[in-house]
Amino acid sequence: MLRNFLDKIKPHFGKDGKLHFLHSTFEAFESFLYVPDKVTVSGCHVRDALDMKRTMIMVVFALLPCFLFGIYNTGFMHFSALGETRDFWPTFWFGCTKVLPMLIVSYVVGLGIEFIFAQVRGHEVNEGFLVSGFLIPLICPPDVPLWMVGVATAFAVIIGKEVFGGTGMNIWNPALLARAFLFFAYPSRMSGDSVWVADAVSGPTALSHIASGATDAVPSVSQLFWGFIPGSVGETSKFCILIGAAILLWSGIGSFRIMFSAVAGAGLMAWIGHQTGATDATMIQHLLSGGFLFGAVFMATDPVTSAQTQAGKWIFGFLVGVMAMVIRIFNPAYPEGMMLAILLMNTFAPLIDYLVVNRNISRRKKRLRMASEPSAVVNS
């Protein structure tokens, strides 16, 4: 029935239709409801109608465990700070009242801007924002005022994405840019060392304990792993993040190279930091606290802003991990370094790719030379 309706109104949006100026809006809704005819295989920087929607929806699925747990944890933190115990559903419901408005604001503002730009520039609406809009509430503390979420989303979409030409053209991860905007614009809200727990109560995060050297106060490893700790909405439960990672790896959307090398880099750097006494927390505590894993799984692997070459991905991920730990351990002003590390490496990703590609070219040239005139190579 819906299909018939869409087919019936479609001519109005055609080249000569009277509603032509709304054609990209129409296409967005049509392809949102039905699989587009044109489908390609991987990577959303390839501006083919490729199945970007499929990719994006898969990432959203992978984020769902974190999202649901984040909602529950928000309520759980609230009631446990007040010294009350509630059943599952009231807790979950309370979390909904905090988290869902953020999600709605992020989507309404972000998609609104995307639709306007698509309309003005006369291209289809891209689905890139489905994931960014879902990520934004997950990487914010639960108490960020909604208007701040809106402003940050607008900034990220306009300055981070549309300025460069829209989805697939951006240099930085839009969701992280929104967080960076909040972080620098309203530092008192986003410092990463203390976070909202319940109304009018805020508690220190694991990271602030690590930064201040109070390792005794850091939650136990199992708490850090299961996630019943204060923090930004989606980052607390490492278990749910691992489920998401499994989904991304299974579907081939997230790059295992980036994930593994990021963890390796961070592990190495945290180990060095611990051995040299620069930080009191152990490697495991560093890996499990804060947004590191969340960033490594969902944000560093963003196919647009990370390195594209296979070797480049190893280097990119490793440097993200190293930088995150360097910022955490050696810069007391920033208890959490993952956001800045990813944004920094996003900036360098094209350079990494360039070097990898050039190296490959020169290696092949050398091989070619060797094959054509072996004596010349031997002599030199």
Partner 1 sequence: MSQEKERLENKGGGWKEWFSAKNMKLLTRPFGADNPITVQVLGICSALAVTAKMQPALVMAISVVVVTGFANLIISLLRNTIPPRIRIIVQLTVIATLVILVDQTLKAVAYEVSRQLSVFVGLIITNCIVMGRLEAFAMANKPWPSFLDGVGNGAGYGLILIIVAFIREFFGSGTVFGYKVIPPSFYEAGYTDNGLFILPPMALIVLGVIIWIHRSMNRNLIEK
Q: For partner 1, which stretch binds (CB under 8 A), given 7-15, 42-50, 144-152, 171-179? A: 144-152
The residue (of 144 and 304) whose beta carbon lies closer to partner 1 is 144
* Nearby residues of 50 by Cβ (< 8 Å), 6 or more positions away: 38, 39, 40, 41, 42, 43, 44
Q: Which is nearer to partner 1, 26 or 181 (CB)?
A: 181
Helix axes 52-81, 88-121, angle to 10 degrees: 140
Examine residue 145 and tell whether it contacts partner 1 (CB under 8 A).
Answer: yes
Nearer to partner 1 (CB atom), residue 5 or residue 184:
184
Which SS3 state, helix, strand or coil, does residue 201 take? strand
Smallest gap from Cβ 184 to partner 1, in A, equals: 5
190 vs 184: CA distance, rounded Å:
8
Residue of the chain from 21, 34, 89, 147 that contacts partner 1 (CB under 8 A): 147
Q: Which residues, in sequence order, are CB contacts of 223 under 8 Å at separation 6+?
A: 229
- Give the whole-angstrom CA distance, residue 278 versus residue 125: 48
Q: Alpha-carbon distance 147 to 353, whole Å?
A: 38
Using rule CB under 8 A, residue 148 touches partner 1? yes
Binding of residue 159 to partner 1 (CB under 8 A): yes
Q: How many CB atoms lie within 10 A of CB 240?
A: 24
Q: Which is nearer to partner 1, 181 or 298 (CB)?
A: 181
Does residue 332 touch partner 1 according to CB under 8 A? no
Min separation Cβ 301 and partner 1, Å:
26
Task: Answer yes or no whether residue 184 interacts with partner 1 by CB under 8 A.
Answer: yes
Please state the separation of Cα 156 from the chain's center in Å.
Answer: 13
Q: Which stretch binds partner 1 (CB under 8 A): 17-25, 62-70, 183-191, 202-210?
A: 183-191
Backbone angles phi, psi at 197, to 5 degrees: -115, -50
Single out the residue of 9, 19, 100, 185 in contact with partner 1 (rule: CB under 8 A). Answer: 185
Q: Which of 69, 72, 134, 181 binds partner 1 (CB under 8 A)?
A: 181
* 8-state DSSP, 13: G
Q: Is 187 in the site for partner 1 (CB under 8 A)?
A: yes
